[in-house]
Chain A
Amino acid sequence: MHGLSLIKQAIRLKPVSRIPWVPFVGVHAGYLIGVDAEEYLKSSKYMIAGLSKAIELYKPDGIPVSFDLQLEAEILGCKLKWAKENPPAVVSHPLVEGTLLSSLKIPEAHEGRIPLVLETTRTLRASHPEIALYGLITGPFTLALHLLGTDIFMKLFEDPEYVMEVMNFCTDVAVKYSEMLIDAGCDVIAVVDPMTSQIDPLSFETFVTPFASRIFDFVRQKQKLSSFFVCGHAQQNIEAMCDCRPDNISIDENIPLEFVKEIALAKNISFGGNMKLTVVLLMGDADDAKQDALACMDSGGNIGFILAPGCDLPMQTPVENIQAVSELVFSQYLQDIARNLDEKESKLDIMNMKDYGQSDKVIVDIITLDSESCAPCQYMVEAVKRIAPHFDGVVEWREHPIKKMEAVSFMSSMMVKNIPTICIDGKIVFVSQIPPQSQLIEAIQKRINEKLKLRIKSKRSEILILGETEKECAELTKKVKRAIAELGKNITVTVVADKAQMNSYGIKKGPAVVTVNYKMKSSATVPSLDVIKEWVKEI
């Protein structure tokens, strides 16, 4: 199912096979093609190139055509201050600087930067019919705040009728611009009204609800979909937002997703959000991004949820972080892995693996998600199972499915990062790919040979001096050490002052020399240095 259908499905509250995802790419698209925010927002060529790049990199199900809450304000006479890494900021408010509301005109399609957005919409519509295009408009309260400045807050109480007039005008602007965006090819009209987060529910119902509802009714009448975006601490207004009857609401990390889910679904409205913009997507790494996306997906569920960042992506958000989210969205398998690791990593017991793999047998460990539910894991386990009988009794294998806590500890202790992985005697040998039988046999054989060599080497390089007491062995020990030193050999000398052990080597009286092939060289005497040297040479 392609992106647009998936989003429609989610918005209609039908279960989805995969959670749809809409990265809010605004000026970040400029970053993807190496132009600054001002150049980007002033050129349809850059907007088309940047968004095409974003679609290629992030494989979204839906994408905003522009994320610019200053576009309408600029046409209405607000001065903008442009920046390199951010959308511009509104720096003047015409209605408090002498402009009359009655003199303001509703923007036309040829004014300001509207033509750029419409052209971008048409081009993307043609090149990507499968993706949901989001047309973003400035919400009426935020636009009213651009026109009136923060005076609007006090005017809510001091001059409520005037505020209603301004809101009505801003809503006319919103409806008109929505119509242009829909006619150019947008599927979803997103009313972005972050400033409503600053007011209480009663003020919201009085000053926002009638106007926002009018926009959503209009979109419905045009048979398109709508979404209501807020960022910031807007928890108090979620219910009121739903009562405006949008098709979807989208929120940022300031509001718990579970909270929004409960309210929205109870009112039969789909919802979206709320990956953490700064601490995770901008400043974290790909793993952080995956964990955060997964947490959102697990809270959101597969009915009525659209995964999205909390708001407009910061311009310099690392590409790999958003790609990591995209990969996760498309892979149930990666989600399962991330979910298991996430749950268990915090409770880990890291084991000391220094002496792992020193037993006589060769140990083959297979770290899997669970060979019953993960196909690559299953094949890897089968590959090992198949060759084990070739090494009758010498090779022992174990599966470590990380759905179990001990397995996660084991995995972390072995520093295994990918699943499935084969370790031989504690060393990572095969990662992710299932080795052909010959390679697997070869790797195990190599380890057997290594172990054998080690064992032979260690046995050859030992000389035992046996006696009843250490004193008895002293002179012989000195001589043996000297012989070894003179011959430049690397041999360990072990003194065993123990009657029982002497007996076990068949020695009746000390001091005695035994070389590692366990052949008695002398007994009840201290041989000359030259004789000892001959023995050492044999080793």
Chain B
Amino acid sequence: MNELLIKLSECIEFGKINMASPYPPQMKGQEGADEITRRALEEGVPPQDILSNGLMPGMERIGVKFRENKVFVPQVLMSAKAMSTAMLHLKPHFLSGAAKQKGTFIIGTVLGDLHDIGKNLVGMMVEGNGYKVIDLGTDVGSEKFIESVRQNPEAVVGLSALLTTTMVNMEKITREIKEAMPGTLVTIGGAPVNNDFCSKIGADNYSPDPQGVVEYLNSKIS
């Protein structure tokens, strides 16, 4: 495989954004995700390869480390930042059709809840694994989710909640999405929810960590 892509996947895994970035110390002064992606495109590496063989393996490795408690939120955010820097160079190619994303994921924190750290992490991780992510933000009600599903009928919806008082809104939102757009898959997550709650409210999946959402999407979409 292309040396550049191996290097790129390491930049993603360790959160090396660009040459100027001081983090991680062991990669100080080296090229980061920004420079390597640009160079790969210049050298004619297909955008799809950059996504599939550079960005995605790096995101997957950091996702697994996060699940195994080897790294925590700050490290994952650095990886996600490196990834989104690389994505800036790839975006035009997605628009032109030269590279394809695996599918679409709509995510939001449910009505009444303003917590977004977990939701953002999941969004970034899913995007880094080759999906188009539509982030509806926090405090999102059924209508906004449904409208977004109408525009992206194949999309899977992710609901996030941190509060015991707002997790109950997941039930209503899940039901209304499924009434309006039957067949839409809904996956849930957040500190107070679990598998039992997921089956109780009729959602399709619960994941305790972002990598779990990626694996669920991979099993359903790609």
- Chain A contacts to B: CB under 8 angstroms: 81, 83, 85-86, 89, 91, 150, 153-154, 156-158, 198-200, 203, 232-233, 235-236, 277-279, 282, 314-316
| Residues of chain A contacted by B30 (CB below 8 angstroms) | none
Q: Tell me which residues from 41 to 75 in chain B have a Cβ below 8 Å from any Cβ of chain A.
A: 69, 71-75
With A157-B15, A158-B21, A278-B164 as contacts: A150 and B72 at CB distance below 8 Å: no
Q: Tell me which residues from 81 to 119 in chain B have a Cβ below 8 Å from any Cβ of chain A.
A: 81, 112, 114-117
Interface residues of B toward A: which range?
Answer: 20 to 34
Residue among B69, B74, B117 with max Cβ neighbours from chain A (10 Å): B74
Q: Decide if A200 touches B112 in the complex (CB within 8 Å).
A: no
| Complex Cα–Cα for A85 and B116 (A) | 19
Q: Decide if B77 touches A203 in the complex (CB within 8 Å).
A: no
Q: Which residue of A lies closest to B112 (CB)?
A: A83
| Complex Cα–Cα for A315 and B22 (A) | 45
Instruction: Give the Cβ gap from B14 to chain A, nearest Cβ, in Å.
Output: 11
B181 at the interface (CB under 8 A from A): no
Instruction: Give the Cβ gap from A87 to chain B, nearest Cβ, in Å.
Output: 10
With A86-B165, A153-B77 as contacts: A198 and B72 at CB distance below 8 Å: yes
| Residues of chain B contacted by A156 (CB below 8 angstroms) | 74
Contact of A91 among B23, B114, B163, B191 (CB under 8 A): B114
| Complex Cα–Cα for A199 and B167 (A) | 25
Q: Decide if B165 touches A199 in the complex (CB within 8 Å).
A: no
B217 at the interface (CB under 8 A from A): no
With A157-B23, A158-B21, A158-B23 as contacts: A236 and B164 at CB distance below 8 Å: no
With A83-B112, A157-B15, A198-B117 as contacts: A282 and B77 at CB distance below 8 Å: no
With A279-B194, A314-B165 as contacts: A157 and B74 at CB distance below 8 Å: yes
B192 at the interface (CB under 8 A from A): yes
- Chain B contacts to A: CB under 8 angstroms: 15, 21-24, 69, 71-75, 77-78, 81, 112, 114-117, 120, 163-165, 167, 191-192, 194
Q: Decide if B192 touches A278 in the complex (CB within 8 Å).
A: yes
Q: Decide if A277 touches B22 in the complex (CB within 8 Å).
A: no
Residue among A157, A314, A315 with max Cβ neighbours from chain B (10 Å): A157
Q: Decide if A200 touches B72 in the complex (CB within 8 Å).
A: yes
| Residues of chain A contacted by B114 (CB below 8 angstroms) | 81, 89, 91
Q: Which residue of B lies closest to A150 (CB)?
A: B117
14 A-B pairs whose Cβ atoms sit less than 8 Å apart in the complex: A85-B165, A86-B163, A150-B116, A150-B117, A153-B74, A198-B73, A199-B74, A200-B74, A203-B74, A233-B69, A235-B69, A277-B192, A278-B167, A315-B165
Contact of B72 among A86, A236, A279, A316 (CB under 8 A): A236
Q: Decide if A150 touches B120 in the complex (CB within 8 Å).
A: yes
| Complex Cα–Cα for A147 and B120 (A) | 19
| Residues of chain A contacted by B192 (CB below 8 angstroms) | 277-278
Q: Decide if B69 touches A236 in the complex (CB within 8 Å).
A: yes
| Residues of chain A contacted by B120 (CB below 8 angstroms) | 150
Q: Decide if A150 touches B165 in the complex (CB within 8 Å).
A: no
| Residues of chain B contacted by A150 (CB below 8 angstroms) | 77, 116-117, 120
Q: Decide if B115 touches A89 in the complex (CB within 8 Å).
A: yes
Instruction: Give the Cβ gap from B62 to chain A, nearest Cβ, in Å.
Output: 13
| Residues of chain B contacted by A158 (CB below 8 angstroms) | 21-23
| Residues of chain B contacted by A154 (CB below 8 angstroms) | 74, 77-78, 81
Instruction: Give the Cβ gap from A204 to chain B, nearest Cβ, in Å.
Output: 9
| Complex Cα–Cα for A83 and B81 (A) | 32
Q: Which residue of A lies closest to B20 (CB)?
A: A158
Instruction: Give the Cβ gap from A260 to chain B, nearest Cβ, in Å.
Output: 16
